[in-house]
Amino acid sequence: FFSSVKMGPADPILGLGLAFNADTDPKKVNLGVGVYRGDDGKPFVLESVKKAGGAYPHMEYAPISGPPGFVGKAQGLAFGENSTAIKQKRIASTQSLSGTGGLRVVSDFLARFLPSKKIYVPNPSWGNHLNIFKDSGLDVQRYSYFDASKNALNFEGILKDLNAAPKDSIVLLHACAHNPTGIDPTKEQWAEIINLVSTKQLFPFVDMAYQGFASGDLDRDAYALRSLTETVPNLALAQSFAKNFGLYGQRIGAAHFVCKDAEEADRVLSQVKILIRPMYSNPPIHGAHIVDTILSNPDLTKLWKSELKDMADRMNNIRGRLVQELAALGSTRDWSHITKQIGMMAFTGMSKAQVDRLKAEFHVYMTDDGRAAISGLNSQNVQYVAKAFHEVTK
């Protein structure tokens, strides 16, 4: 029965982890997958998470859309405690299996109910976006995002391409810490993009995987989402707690649909549940319990926010350190984009051939597009990685 099943390629991001694990060289460094590590290079569990993870009320099923307490907290974090849309009960929300699961639920919903199947995705974007949207039956189109010659945002390209998108098209926007480039529009640029999305009647679909991880400030990182919510009649959001709570393997996140009123939100949520029930029935409870506990307890919330800030600060500091080390080695290449970028990713500008050499000669693992998850850098390996970068870019 399976004789016609062909071997598929390894995942460009998660497959790297397998190759890294199989590498026996003690100098090996994993800059592949975006997972935060402490300065000791070890997996990192937040103190706030350890404190919240214990006492457990029950092991029974959650509602299809997740425990209401958790879902309300997720809304507040994304849209703001004083959000008018929340007060007006016009956001239909469900727990999701982290960011990917949220993206998939939203894109399945959009494919089922929206008039247009076209989705405009930035070029480049997180690789899995394309798989998710294609598997949902959406028609994936690209819009310019990055100017490789300047290692900078291609703002004119964004405006030009979105301006040419037909009315009703879906447009995928990264809320903050764009993955893989680490480059976000400024507030002024966001205002223009949001105005364009609104006047062209495009449907914004926001992916927020890094709230708090870009600037260390949860509200600042939600700026684009909140501004959009005030401007457009409808939008969808996939929200992940993998990075900001360090809950990667718990697969915890939420999907939200901003609606015109509470009655519309009720209808939308009823269909979201109909979509989820035959897919995975109802979500796992542990991650929701941890997030809800942290956000319900002011001391734990305070601790979590300070830990989040520490993680964001470490990422920024290690960026600076990498660029310093490259200069100290005599690299004449301009690496300043690395310190201008934000979040967990550095889009180094290195070619696939250079990335291949890094892996083969130096046991440094990065994705083929030259993206380095700088969360894998620390004070022990940053010099070695700088030397490797310098050698392959001489």
Minimum gap (Å) between residue 240 Cβ and ligand LMR: 8
Minimum gap (Å) between residue 347 Cβ and ligand LMR: 12
- The reply on whether position 13 binds ligand LMR by CB under 6 A is yes
Minimum gap (Å) between residue 120 Cβ and ligand LMR: 20
For ligand LMR, which is the closer residue by CB, 229 or 375? 375
For ligand LMR, which is the closer residue by CB, 126 or 245? 126
For ligand LMR, which is the closer residue by CB, 33 or 236? 33
d(CA 322, CA 343): 15
Which residues between 168 and 227 bind ligand LMR (CB under 6 A)?
Answer: 179
Within 8 A by CB and 6+ apart from 345, the residues are: 34, 177, 179, 180, 181, 182, 371, 372, 373, 374
Active site residues: 126, 207, 243
Contact pattern from residue 115 through residue 144 relative to ligand LMR, giving x for each residue in contact according to CB under 6 A and a dash for the rest: -----------x-x----------------
10 Å CB burial of residue 272 (0-12, 13-18, 19+) is buried
Of positions 20, 31, 34, 295, contacts ligand LMR by CB under 6 A? 34
Minimum gap (Å) between residue 210 Cβ and ligand LMR: 9
- The reply on whether position 355 binds ligand LMR by CB under 6 A is no
Minimum gap (Å) between residue 170 Cβ and ligand LMR: 21
| Closest CA relative to residue 245, chosen from 207, 313, 209, 291 | 291
Of positions 29, 31, 33, 202, contacts ligand LMR by CB under 6 A? 33
Minimum gap (Å) between residue 262 Cβ and ligand LMR: 33
Compute how many residues bind ligand LMR; rule: CB under 6 A.
Answer: 7
10 Å CB burial of residue 304 (0-12, 13-18, 19+) is buried
- The reply on whether position 311 binds ligand LMR by CB under 6 A is no
For ligand LMR, which is the closer residue by CB, 95 or 179? 179
For ligand LMR, which is the closer residue by CB, 86 or 364? 364
Please count the residues of the chain: 394
For ligand LMR, which is the closer residue by CB, 35 or 228? 35
Within 8 A by CB and 6+ apart from 5, the residues are: none
Tell how far CA 255 is from the center of its chain: 13
Minimum gap (Å) between residue 38 Cβ and ligand LMR: 18
10 Å CB burial of residue 37 (0-12, 13-18, 19+) is middle
For ligand LMR, which is the closer residue by CB, 85 or 255? 255
Three-state DSSP class for 6?
Answer: coil
d(CA 21, CA 42): 14
Give the N- to C-terminal CA distance of the chain in Å, as an integer: 52
d(CA 239, CA 38): 24
Q: What burial letters (b/e) apply to 89-111, b meaning 16+ CB within 10 Å?
A: ebbbbbbbbbbbbbbbbbbbbbb
Which residues between 362 and 381 bind ligand LMR (CB under 6 A)?
Answer: 373
Question: Which residue is closest to ligand LMR by CB?
Answer: 34
According to DSSP, residue 370 is labeled S
Contact pattern from residue 241 through residue 280 relative to ligand LMR, giving x for each residue in contact according to CB under 6 A and a dash for the rest: ----------------------------------------
Residues interacting with ligand LMR, by CB under 6 A?
13, 33-34, 126, 128, 179, 373
